[in-house]
Structure 1
Amino acid sequence: MLKSALRQTIIDQQKILDFDEQYVPRDIPLESLLQSEEIIVLSGIRRCGKSTILTQLSKILDGKFLYINFDDIRFSDFNQENFQHIYEILGELFGPDAHVILLLDEIQNIHGWERWLNNLHTFKIKTIVTGSNASVLSSELSTYLTGRHKTIRVHPFSFREYLRYYSISCENPEFVSSTQKGEIIRYLRKYLEEGGFPAVIRSGDIALSEQYLTDIIYRDIVSRFGIREIKELKDLTVYLISNAGRMISYKKLADITGLKSVSTIKNYLDYLEQAFLLFRIAPLHYSLKATSRASHKIYAGDLSFIQSAGFHLSEDLGQRIENLIFLELLRRYQEVYFYSGSGECDFLVKKNQVVEEAIQVSYSLSDQKTLDREIKGLTLAMEKFNVKKGLILTFEDEELFDIPDIRISVIPIWKWLLTAP
């Protein structure tokens, strides 16, 4: 890429951040990102708002930044020499001694980016980058930037951020009027269907989510890994998302998709997870070997995928609620598992090698059989891992069960979602 073309592309891109549009504040401390000495990596699924976070950061920086979006088609012939050109362009635009922060969007598209970031850090140039592929970012960063970077996982809007978009405030979930509660529940039902992608929410067009699904499959998986069995990959993706919250069998996946190789299916699952289209969680065992060999459960990377993938029951709120709770746990904790034994517990939260909380999710507990099943699975998990605090999340129920040596709280999901961890 000629330096003159690179310079013009960079200058053109600065206008992308010029808009005065009001953006929803995310639950990410922007000031602390700027104060950190490490390279900041904003990692997450495409279209979840990473670029908007860079825009919000640019407003704080008030001109003392250079924004480069490497997803621009004009960077298709970017070469190693262009890294040096960027240093020179920085000097031309801001002067040799200016303290300018680099905001680099979709950095994984450029070959050699990890070593360049290492050089930037060596020369004390503050850098904040975004990326949409977990595998590339984590593996290369751990190789070249050990101890020099901090990764922030960015998701589509949480329910708290979703309400913020609609200017609905709930400072204390314990003290809401009946009218406020009704409004929150109305938006919760809406959120369970359309999910958290900002553009989907803004347009009200769930078809955008379907397009995202297709784009990510082709751009981040098919193109990157040279996949030839495209139909089989799409069938696998649709099946997994449509069965969010259920345990998967590699043999069954082979029968459904026509992919006969278990190793191929496992690779495709890795690729889908690396692109943040879906997530796997394992049952927790005391043996790491047993945990690694056990069947996993699958959850969609955004609630809208359950709607847009097709082959779902639109009235299956229980499935969507469980997926929602998983995504929120993913925001709050590093380690999330489930329990499967003589009973089942939906989620176990582990922190510092200790299981801190066991959580069941159910739309309603009005049926006695459902209540008995949920409590049985929860108490079995709590006894096995010596957990004293159990939680059942429902759509609206609220109650407290005192069992010898165990306390189980039943809390509406809207209240739990709006309560800080």
Structure 2
Amino acid sequence: MNEKIALLRRYNFWGSDSIDLGYKRSTYVDNIAGYIGSKLIRVLVGQRRSGKSYILRQIAGELIDSGINPNNILFINKEFTDLEFLKNYKDLDEVIKAYKKELNPVGKIYIFIDEIQMIDGWEKVVNSYSQDYSESYELFISGSNSKMLSGELATLLSGRYISLEVFPFSYQEYLGITQQQCGRQSYSDYMSSGGLPELFMLNKPELKRNYVSAIKDTVLLRDIIQRYNVRDAKLLEDIFAFLVNNASNLVSIANIVNFFKSQGRKTSYDAVSNYIGYIEDAFLIHKCDRYNIKGKDIMSGNAKYYINDLAYKNYLYPGYGYGYGYLAENLVYLELKRTGYNVYVGSLRNKEVDFIAQKADRTIYLQSTYMLTDEATVEREYSALKAIDDNFEKVVISLDEITMPLNEGIRHIKAWELDKIL
């Protein structure tokens, strides 16, 4: 047996029923399943440890359940040290050919490659096999960098791929894996923990803290520092900490530069801008631009940044002052993005609207707050929406257990029921 294929065998379904498929993430699996049978390359992108590997395995499992011979499925996970010999596209092509020779699959072949950005020139192999008309292949790939489908690569694969961003567990998935009931208590628990899938295999806070720290270190080192030859690793990590602790606040690059200068740290606008871009590319944080509601255009300058998972805040930087309202706002942002909306911070004269969410021909204005505790809070949250003079949907979201009555056409939604209206 080919030595490399022997290494791959332990990670594949060939004669094995012991592959861990994890918690079923039906939304992603069903979405991808809709494209099976086409020549399109299926691409999953998202932060490391957000669950892409499990989703790919679940798709493979679905194929097998539908009658596909396991020998017709090749699964390659570049993160495993056993596969360090896979360095470039030539190595990848050699492995695929060795697999075909060893297992002699009959009919269509399904190729899954996880963390494909770690293979130099991978696009050459993916493009070649996806468009091979002498034999039939379907390709499913994943990556942890948002730029993996940009520039020349997007041109090379133009019109021949679909991309899906994978987020950590949603609140509904959290309920499924923890077997809790939908409601304020479980939502608060979710908000105080996080949605990184492997967190739920750990039962002690210290283990969870170490795990989250290890993810952060791995992403910063392997996906940013090594990839971009970052010179000041300490500055990179400090910028990440700043963004985590200022999530849901309007900030600018100039603000961040001035903050570090006030701490006696010398840095430049360009360095901070580049480092933030790298952190975004690795899916650790998301930038939410301001949008002029009256002028109908994106505004430069200040923006908000949201964490890809609240575990970074809860386990790594819990000592910094950070109200529940900011945590709830971060979760609302993630749910909007998870369900496919383009999201902006709304600006209308001297008022701010937390979110403008747009998808196809639907636009929703949303205000997020922890609790509508008094008349002043109600006035603050509703007044910004009342100032908007168009007829798009307007919603206030909070953790109140009682749904407030309709207020001049503005609905009130409990945070844990947000998914029902999206």
TM-score band (shorter)? 0.7 to 0.9
Cα distance in structure 1, aligned partners of 2:108 and 2:285: 39
Answering whether residue 404 of structure 2 is matched by residue 399 of structure 1, we say yes
Q: Give 2:67's aligned residue.
A: none
Answering whether residue 166 of structure 2 is matched by residue 154 of structure 1, we say yes
Pairwise CA RMSD: 2.5
Closer/same/farther in 2, CA of residues 367 and 71 from structure 1, 3 Å limit: same
Q: Deviations over 1:348-404 (max 9, x none)?
A: 01234x661100001111221111111112222x32xx243210000024113342x
Closer/same/farther in 2, CA of residues 79 and 210 from structure 1, 3 Å limit: closer
Answering whether residue 101 of structure 2 is matched by residue 92 of structure 1, we say yes
Q: Could you tell me which amino acid in structure 1 is paired with residue 141 of structure 2?
A: V
Between the two proteins, the alignment pairs up a number of residues equal to: 398
Q: Could you tell me which amino acid in structure 2 is paired with residue 8 of structure 1?
A: A
* 1:209–1:305 Cα contact (<8 Å) kept: yes
Shift of 1:98: 3.0
Q: Among 239, 253, 256, which residue is 1:236 paired with?
A: 239
* 1:361–1:394 Cα contact (<8 Å) kept: yes
Q: Give 2:43's aligned residue.
A: 41
Q: Give 1:388's aligned residue.
A: 392
Superposed, 1:3-402 pairs within 5 Å as 4-14=2-12, 18-19=17-18, 21=20, 23-26=22-25, 27-28=27-28, 29=30, 30-62=32-64, 63=70, 64-73=72-81, 74-76=83-85, 78-95=87-104, 97-123=106-132, 124-139=136-151, 141-168=153-180, 184-204=183-203, 205-207=207-209, 208-257=211-260, 258-285=265-292, 291=298, 293-310=300-317, 312-313=319-320, 316-340=323-347, 341-352=349-360, 356-380=363-387, 382-383=388-389, 386-396=390-400, 397-402=402-407
Shift of 1:195: 0.9
Cα distance in structure 2, aligned partners of 1:227 and 1:288: 39
Cα distance in structure 2, aligned partners of 1:193 and 1:186: 11
* 1:247–1:295 Cα contact (<8 Å) kept: yes
Cα distance in structure 2, aligned partners of 1:96 and 1:244: 50
Cα distance in structure 1, aligned partners of 2:177 and 2:119: 34
Q: Could you tell me which amino acid in structure 1 is paired with residue 140 of structure 2?
A: I
Q: Could you tell me which amino acid in structure 2 is paired with residue 378 of structure 1?
A: L
Cα distance in structure 2, aligned partners of 1:251 and 1:263: 10
TM-score normalised per structure 2: 0.87
Closer/same/farther in 2, CA of residues 219 and 289 from structure 1, 3 Å limit: farther
Q: Could you tell me which amino acid in structure 2 is paired with residue 255 of structure 1?
A: N
Closer/same/farther in 2, CA of residues 311 and 186 from structure 1, 3 Å limit: closer
Shift of 1:94: 3.3
Cα distance in structure 1, aligned partners of 2:369 and 2:412: 10
Shift of 1:118: 0.6
Unmatched runs of 5 consecutive residues or more in structure 1 = 169-179
Cα distance in structure 1, aligned partners of 2:386 and 2:313: 30
* 1:306–1:312 Cα contact (<8 Å) kept: no
* 2:46–2:143 Cα contact (<8 Å) kept: yes
Closer/same/farther in 2, CA of residues 394 and 58 from structure 1, 3 Å limit: same
Q: Deviations over 1:200-242 (max 9, x none)?
A: 1221443122221121111111111111111111111001111
Shift of 1:413: 0.5
Cα distance in structure 2, aligned partners of 1:291 and 1:346: 15
Q: Deviations over 1:67-87 (max 9, x none)?
A: 011223343563443243234
Shift of 1:44: 0.7
Q: Could you tell me which amino acid in structure 1 is paired with residue 236 of structure 2?
A: L
